[in-house]
Amino acid sequence: MMKHPAYGQVYQWSPEDFELGAPLGRGKFGRVYMARERMSGYMFAMKIMFKTELQRGGVQRQVLREIEIQSRLKHPHILRLLTWFHDHNKIYLALEIAAQGELYKHLRNSPGSRFPEPRAAKYTYQVADALNYCHVNNVIHRDLKPENILLTADDNLKLADFGWSAHTLSNKRRTMCGTLDYLPPEMVEGNSYDDSVDQWCLGILTYEFLVGSPPFESNDQEMTYEKIKKLDIRFPEYLSTGSKDLISRLLRKPSTARITLIQVMTHPWVRENMRKYEAMKAMQK
């Protein structure tokens, strides 16, 4: 690696520096492949997007924002953007590999489409840790959902998809975006919001990990909105008291009443279940 011309200096990468391998997945605008840097043999995931497709979809600004934000975030639970470059018709993103792909797929394939509490607690902790790092760096994710989280070969989460994220340095923002089921009440009502929208989304995510579907899901959009506004949430009987306590503290209508991400990481249900998860893993070895 140290012999590489890119080591320690600005280097203009080009497609010739890399070899593409098996496809890892496909999104609306990107195709993702296993890739190898020729000189060092370093393996990573290469996401390739066609400029014409981005233009047609009107998402150029979103992609640029994603690149700008993701390239400065360096955290164990945030997918690293190692470098990026472009040629006349494509944009290339060199990303770290998350070999087990979308968390969504794993959730759907679990018995009852839900995770046991120890596994859910471990993931909740890792997302809280990543979001806390984002907030400290003045970034709101705003689009948390199992489809935007990837899983590594050693079962750790990587937050991806910063296309809807925003800097928090300016005033509170009013843009309406994000997935319907995960929208916090202040966004449904078109009010201003701040980084505590991510705490709300983490509450929805933890619920979905444990129950298999988000709490306000319904057949029509209006009904979902109504449920969110009324905080009409039902907990299945099988949920533990601790998990219900955590979710209720995150899904608070007044954004200032939501517990902090640090409080999530130290919540007794999270701690106890993470310990159980580690113990289970140790026994499997």
Considering the complex, state which of residue 23 and residue 268 has its C-beta at the smaller distance from ligand ATP. 23
- Contact region with ligand ATP (CB under 6 A), list: 21-29, 65-73, 124-132, 265-273: 21-29
Positive or negative, the CA dihedral 134, 136, 138, 143 is positive
Instruction: Please work out, in degrees rounded to the nearest 5, the angle formed at the alpha carbon of residue 150 by the alpha carbons of 161 and 61.
Output: 10
Query: Which two structure tokens, joined as six digits, stand for 247?
Result: 């979710």
Interaction of residue 24 with ligand ATP, rule CB under 6 A: yes
Taking the C-alpha atoms of residue 39 and residue 31, their distance in angstroms, rounded to an integer, is 23
The verdict on whether residue 278 carries a ligand-binding annotation is: no
Residue with Cβ nearer ligand ATP (134 or 159): 159
**Is 148 annotated as contributing to ligand binding?**
yes
Please say which residue, 102 or 272, places its beta carbon nearer to ligand ATP.
102
159-198 residues near ligand ATP, rule: CB under 6 A: 161
We find the least distance from the C-beta atom of residue 97 to ligand ATP, in angstroms, to be 5
If one asks whether residue 250 binds ligand ATP (CB under 6 A), the answer comes out as: no
H helices of 192-240, where? 197-211, 221-230
> At 37, which helix (H) or strand (E)?
strand 30-37
87 catalytic, yes or no?
no
Among 5, 27, 236, 268, binds ligand ATP (CB under 6 A): 27
What is the DSSP secondary-structure string of 39-102?
TT--EEEEEEEEHHHHHHHT-HHHHHHHHHHHHH---TTB--EEEEEE-SSEEEEEE---TTEE
Give DSSP secondary structure letters for 140-165: E----SGGGEEE-TTS-EEE---TT-
Our finding on whether 217 is near ligand ATP (CB under 6 A) is no
Q: Is 212 in the site for ligand ATP (CB under 6 A)?
A: no
From candidates 17, 35, 37, 45, binder to ligand ATP by CB under 6 A: 45
141 in contact with ligand ATP (CB under 6 A): no
Residue from 143, 181, 195, 198 carrying the catalytic annotation:
143
Q: Are strands 166-167 and 139-140 parallel, antiparallel or unpaired?
A: antiparallel
Residue numbers in the known binding site are: 28, 47, 96-98, 147-148, 161
Residues recognised as catalytic: 143
